[in-house]
Amino acid sequence: MWEVTKRLRQADISVPFIPLFFGGQAMIWLTWPWGTAGSVGAFAATVVVCMIWRLLSQGLGSQPENYLRDVAITVFVAAWIPLFASFGALLVYPDNGAEQVFCLMLGVTFSDIGGYAAGVLFGKHPMAPAISPKKSWEGLAGSLVVGTTASTLAVTFLLGHHPFVGIALGVMLVITGTLGDLVESQVKRDLGIKDMGTLLPGHGGIMDRLDSLLPSAVATWIVLTLFI
């Protein structure tokens, strides 16, 4: 959260860090007693507080300046990071929570491995050259094969579900992981930066590692909770 809001402030976009931080904590921790209702309720409350915070920060007697832009970006950040992360927390609570989280991590990791290997070996057709030049359709195919295989094996043998559930999860993780990476790449291009942070030398910041994992947590919760 801090990395993203810092980059936004550097681009002269006013995003209120304090209500975002505490609201984000509430989205995650309120899943413990109230599940999705706690997360969604905290998200709605965070949006309202941020709208008021941004309004008061410019002064009620001042001419509005980029209010709609700043609030829209704030809502995007609140959903993108803490709301999506709260679905990862929701995966932990059932008796097989550790196995569910492992299926998420395994699917995303092997999807990345398959995509990278296929892209390096066979990548000739760029997927989105203006956003992420290194991504190719061949890499996406590699992600589908390797990621779906890993997810199917994990869901079948760790969770005891039908292989079709694993296939569905694998496909969803490839889609959400790829889109998550493209979304962060687009945000960075809009801001004119290469990495979100410098905390991990050679790898950028924390968000550069979580870009595919956050939306994939939502996909995993949907597949393993709503379709079983």
pLDDT-based confidence at 61, cuts 50/70/90? Answer: confident
Same domain, yes or no, for 101 and 208?
yes
Contacts of residue 15, Cβ cutoff 8 Å, sequence gap at least 6? 5, 8, 9, 70, 73, 74, 77
pLDDT at 227 over 80: no
One domain for residues 84 and 117 = no
Is the predicted pLDDT of residue 196 greater than 90, yes or no?
no
Regarding whether 61 and 146 lie in a shared domain, the answer is no
* Alpha-carbon Rg for the chain in angstroms: 19
Cβ count near 202 (within 10 Å): 6
Average pLDDT, the chain: 92
Same domain? 122 vs 224: yes
Same domain, 44 and 149: no
Last residue of a domain, one of 89, 112, 140: 89
Shared domain check, 21 and 130: no
pLDDT at residue number 41:
98
Shared domain check, 103 and 53: no
Report the pLDDT value the prediction gives residue 198, as an integer from 0 to 100: 67
At 49, the amino acid letter reads V
pLDDT of 228 above 90: no
d(CA 168, CA 62): 52
- pLDDT tens profile 33-55: 999 999 999 999 999 999 999 99
pLDDT band (50, 70, 90) for residue 13: very high
Residue 92 has pLDDT above 70, yes or no: yes
Helix (H, G, I), strand (E, B), or coil: what is residue 87?
A: helix
pLDDT of 1 reads: 75
Q: Are 220 and 173 in contact (CB under 8 A)?
A: yes
Which two structure tokens, joined as six digits, stand for 67? 């209010």
Residue 121 belongs to domain spanning: 94-228
For residues 60 and 66, give the distance between their C-alpha atoms in angstroms, rounded to a whole number: 14
